[in-house]
Structure 1
Amino acid sequence: MKGWWHRFIRTPGELHALGVVGINMRNARFVLPNNPRRLYGLVDDKTQTKRIAAEREISIPETYGIVSNPAELRRVERLLGDRESFVIKPSRGSGGKGIMVIAEKDGEHYLKPSGARVTIEEIKHHLQNILAGLFSLGGLRDKALIEYRVKAARIMTDISFQGAPDIRVVMLHGYPLMAMLRAATRESDGRSNLHQGALGIGVDIATGRTIHAIHHGKSVELHPDLKVPLLGIQIPDWDHILDIAVTCHEMTGLGYLGVDLMVDEEKGPLMIEVNARPGLAIQMANGVGLLKRLVPVQRRAKEHPHDERRQKISFSRNTFASKSGIQPTSLP
């Protein structure tokens, strides 16, 4: 029997019964009451997020430089130096917009993961677009970060087409609710954006193993390009990933948030960014409505207001473990 994610048209009553959270419910019941507007700047501006993460000693990609105004474009060559790989991203971008990934250098040209050649002038033009606010929230003028390009762990790149997959953990009050791996396809051009054709792969909160995958809203078990299995993959350092995610809640003060991470082959899990309005496709990736996890966490947080990080993680792992023979951990 096909699950709810196979039908695109559902009545409001059916969606409610399935625990599916829509944008209006997310905003009214979970974002607005739990995320004070004054805290948004800490996560909407990646330079601010990286600053407070460094204060908490959370592992993050090294920043090579920041371009804040057009006059600084003259020093881009000096800023890049002999670096052969790096990532350029808007400080206030969202949804992966405006991110340029450089994988290597070939003479005077830079190469994207797809093999496409990029000149230094094209890089400067892209930086100009970032500064002009082409990719920023609200179209406001922005600044560009040039940072370390994550060398994703092999087990991760094996299920992603020409792009490093990332992991999103969504939380309420510091309790991990759901996790999803976003893997690139040929269609998504190496980007981990589900709307552009990337894969959404649900991850068991208890173990860090992949349990369900979707492509354009339909369940799949193999990567459409690589033809490799997507389920049963163990994400490395899962304990550390959950610890970083909960620490991001503590450092931002946001009650409802999503934390994006990547696993580097040598450096381990790295926090990439924090989102105060995480998207809802994670429900389809897991085949579970978020409300079925939000309500138990609301109840737990009310009954146990002094739960510490270890207790929050333990509660989530016990309560939201995949029903596939997973043995729950002990709850202190």
Structure 2
Amino acid sequence: MSDSVDSAKAKPVYQKWWHRWIRTPKELRAMGVVGINMRNARFLLPNNPRRLYTLVDNKLRTKKLAEEQGLSVPETYGVIRSPYDTRNLESLLSKRSAFVIKPARGSGGKGVLVIDGKEDGYYIKPSGSRFSGDEVRHHVSNILAGLFSLGGQRDVALIEYRVRPARILTDISYQGAPDIRLVMLHGYPVMAMLRAATRESDGRANLHQGALGIGIDIRSGRTVRAVHHGKPVTHHPDTGLELIGIQMPDWDRILEIAVTCQEMTGLGYLGVDLMVDQEIGPLMIEVNARPGLAIQMANGVGLLRRLEPVEKRHTLHPGEDLEQKIEFSKRTFGRD
């Protein structure tokens, strides 16, 4: 049961599908496109009890859950919880040449500061731009004030290991670390994409800031399609490198981690973000109870075409284990 869009008949549809304003609701349904209203009413509300959101809306809590499950996560160097703690920031960072500072309750990559090294008393970002110690403290203060957090709530700042991505992934991401997003329903992987940075996105793997969305085949772990600002591309706009046909490292382990994240949170519908470190391998970065819908553009496939078969499977076989769920997803959604 493949939903490949390689045929001559299907190709023109998917090249234009992002231009939603010229599509009627009936046409979108025929394409299997899931919009925000459908996502919320049909998949989020029935499957994600509100009480479980606290497990994933706070990255510190999610990391603790993951570690209890034996999953690898980026090492936490420190946590800044109050303005008073910022006085010790320089001391905390003095032994670290590279690190990441992020809000515990952030979303969409907002507030993430990546530092690659130090030079002449300045912190160096992947782009080569410099941050003074005062600027880093100011950034942390903004995190504490809730500038980047969900609902503007006061937050805490995490200081973490700076992931060194596997070389094959670094090559297709401009001055930034790419990550992998998987969307899950009832523990079945339904769709995956690689998010790769561009010059425009300033080293961040955020599609809304100009990063690339690169669809990944669930069965093989190879990239099958790429988009930039919703338009299909085959090469990186900055490096010129080919984006299609790239094999994700440790793909089976990545799928296992994603399914485990569903089991440990109890959420029925979720997104799992991972990175592949050159030395450590796959790392769980975060879990999202409200995964976005741009993954459909990256794959050229409407989510409904993946979610409906999983709904039926889960109803008929509610007790399937991790291996069975992965096998079903590979068999049903694989493109090659």
Q: Does TM, scored on the shorter chain, surpass 0.5?
A: yes
Q: Choose the corresponding residue for 1:189, options 202, 206, 220.
A: 202
1:330 maps to none
1:91-106 equivalences in 2 (<5 Å): 91-106=104-119
Q: Distance in 2 between matches of 1:185 and 1:10?
A: 29
Q: Distance in 2 between matches of 1:266 and 1:106?
A: 25
Cα RMSD for the two superposed structures: 0.7
Aligned positions, number: 323
Say whether 1:87 aligns with 2:104.
no
SS at match of 1:146: strand
SS at match of 1:236: coil
Q: Choose the corresponding residue for 1:148, options 145, 161, 164.
A: 161
Displaced runs of 4+ in structure 1, greater than 2 A?
none
1:220 maps to 233
Q: Distance in 2 between matches of 1:146 and 1:190?
A: 18
Q: Choose the corresponding residue for 1:163, options 176, 185, 200.
A: 176
1:208 maps to 221
SS at match of 1:3: helix
CA contact (8 A) 1:6 1:217 kept: no
Q: Choose the corresponding residue for 1:236, options 231, 246, 249.
A: 249
SS at match of 1:2: helix
Q: Distance in 1 between matches of 2:314 and 2:131?
A: 50
2:276 maps to 263
- Gap regions ≥5 residues in structure 1: 327-332
2:6 maps to none
SS at match of 2:287: strand
1:1-332 equivalences in 2 (<5 Å): 1-7=11-17, 8=19, 9-322=22-335, 326=336
Q: Which amino acid aligns with 1:257?
A: L
SS at match of 1:317: helix
User: How far 1:78 moved relative to its partner?
Assistant: 1.5
User: How far 1:81 moved relative to its partner?
Assistant: 2.2
Q: Distance in 1 between matches of 2:122 and 2:61?
A: 32
SS at match of 1:123: helix
User: How far 1:4 moved relative to its partner?
Assistant: 2.9
CA contact (8 A) 1:170 1:179 kept: yes
CA deviations over 1:15-44 (Å, ceiling 9, x no partner): 000100000000000001000000001100
Q: Distance in 2 between matches of 1:78 and 1:229?
A: 43
Q: Distance in 2 between matches of 1:247 and 1:5?
A: 34
1:329 maps to none
SS at match of 1:74: helix
Identical columns (%): 68
2:3 maps to none
Q: Which amino acid aligns with 1:205?
A: I
